[in-house]
Amino acid sequence: MPDTTAAPAQDGGMLRPAFWRHKKVLVTGGAGFLGSHIVDVLSGFKCETFAPRRHEYDLVNFAEAKACLDNFQPDLVIHGAAYGGGLGMMQVNPAKLYYDNLVMGANMLEAGRLAGVAKVVVTGTACSYPGDIGDSMNEDDLWKGFPHKSVYHYGLSKKMMIVQGMIYYEQYQFNAVHLILANLYGPRDTFHPDRSHVVAALIRRFVEAKEQGAARIEVWGSGRPVRDFLYVEDCAQVVLRAAEVYDDPAPVNVGPGRGTSIRELVETLSDVVGYTGEIAYDSSKPDGQRVKTLDVGRMARCLGWRPATSLREGLRRTVDWYRHNKAAADQKS
């Protein structure tokens, strides 16, 4: 296995427009939350970007995944497509979640290999880690236990892409990069209560409570769980940074590497939204995994990158976006 400790050029993690010039880039999930931000950044470079919708190519179907690659013939694939959602949504139809993510990932790597793509960058998840690994998740801990029961189907379906990347590297010298993302949030997130993650769910609730003068809002669980929140525009940058400088099947955690309790998130959001009413923690709702904070040492060493946006600033921008796009955001499920 290659040396994952090699440092990239010391350029502060800035993207390199020259890398992208005349490249053809396929972004799966390019109309989705993270994917659309990746496409936005790429639109500033002189590359050709293709972001097909599911009705054009259903990537769960191998023939369609292969046709997508054959027709577009990309130099590089960013695999951002995933079926998922917050803790509530994870419990609804978990078998489909498992199957679709597993098969879509396997298809993209195999079709990418057959099409002679130079690199596939996969966006993975911290749900792939063991459920009780402690206060900081290091890449070496990935195989030390079973994921938390609330997300194991999703976490393992994505984790198999690490295995596929490793084995394809060994046998075919195929270049698949796997990024393990912290909890994403930001503009264009899913705000529908059936699917939302905590940040979007709470922003919707806080903004509505503020508008309607409600005296009380509810927050799921105990408020004690800890998450590592990554602003989506920062995430788009690091995904492209990895495409530029990282060539190794060893996965890399990406995020701020800073644990924030749900209680701290709630306090910061109350402040940002200007909500002063009561906050009730609903213990009948699940907490999920106790802690999901990433050790980002490998990210700093190998990508030479760190996020630019503080949690408060990211929340401020997301609240602002939501207030201006509320009608459309509330519809999107």
What residues line the site for ligand GDP (CB under 6 A)? 86-88, 151, 183, 196-198, 201-202, 219-221, 225, 227, 262, 285-289, 292
Residue 322 near residue 191 (C-beta atoms within 8 A): yes
Q: Which residues are catalytic?
A: 154
Mapped onto helix, strand or coil, the DSSP state of residue 150 is coil
Tell me the backbone φ, ψ of residue 165, rounded to 5 degrees: -65, -40
- Between CA 105 and CA 107 the distance in angstroms is 5
Smallest distance from ligand GDP to CB 228, Å: 9
Residue 138 near residue 80 (C-beta atoms within 8 A): no
Q: Of 283, 90, 290, nearest to 197 (Cα)?
A: 90
Residue number, 120 or 269, with CB nearest to ligand GDP: 269
Instruction: Give the residue closest to ligand GDP by C-beta.
Output: 86
Residue number, 50 or 185, with CB nearest to ligand GDP: 185
Residue number, 49 or 150, with CB nearest to ligand GDP: 150
- Between CA 114 and CA 116 the distance in angstroms is 5
Smallest distance from ligand GDP to CB 37, Å: 18
Residue 76: enclosing H or E segment and its boundaries? strand 76-79
Residue number, 261 or 325, with CB nearest to ligand GDP: 261
Smallest distance from ligand GDP to CB 152, Å: 11
- Between CA 181 and CA 294 the distance in angstroms is 9
DSSP of 136-186: SB-GGGTTSSPBPTTTHHHHHHHHHHHHHHHHHHHHH---EEEEEE-EEE-
Smallest distance from ligand GDP to CB 198, Å: 3
Beta bridge partners of residue 177, listed in sequence order: 121
Residue number, 72 or 83, with CB nearest to ligand GDP: 83
- Between CA 197 and CA 201 the distance in angstroms is 6
Smallest distance from ligand GDP to CB 290, Å: 9
